[in-house]
Amino acid sequence: DAGVIQSPRHEVTEMGQEVTLRCKPISGHDYLFWYRQTMMRGLELLIYFNNNVPIDDSGMPEDRFSAKMPNASFSTLKIQPSEPRDSAVYFCASSLVQGMTFFGQGTRLTVV
């Protein structure tokens, strides 16, 4: 398996634009997580899914953020409209229940 695959690896966008981050979890994993990493706040859990269903989105910063998982092999994290303070590295991760959690390489988002 190629591991958790995220795209794009880098994204630079202007304030106010919509940003969509994509993730393909490891095949067979039934949990998917979205994290955000910044120098100030470290690694924050934004939302996680179990069997494609959102379980806990309490970490999503505000309504501008939304995440979907239409099937077991794909998830998106959308920011609309984007703001400079959204600049961060966004990680997707997947796991089996109570198992090791594997991370993608991350998407480095810069909002100017």
Partner 1 sequence: SQQGEEDPQALSIQEGENATMNCSYKTSINNLQWYRQNSGRGLVHLILIRSNEREKHSGRLRVTLDTSKKSSSLLITASRAADTASYFCATDSGTGNQFYFGTGTSLTVIP
Among 38, 50, 51, 110, binds partner 1 (CB under 8 A): 50
DSSP 30: -
Length of the chain as a residue count: 112
Q: In the numeric block, which tokens belong to residue 60?
A: 């999503």
Pattern 60-99, binding to partner 1, x per CB under 8 A?
A: -------------------------------x-x-x-xxx
Q: In the numeric block, which tokens belong to residue 70?
A: 């239409």
Dist CA 51 CA 96 (whole Å): 10
Residues engaged in binding partner 1 (CB under 8 A): 31, 33, 35, 42-43, 45, 48, 50, 55-56, 91, 93, 95, 97-106
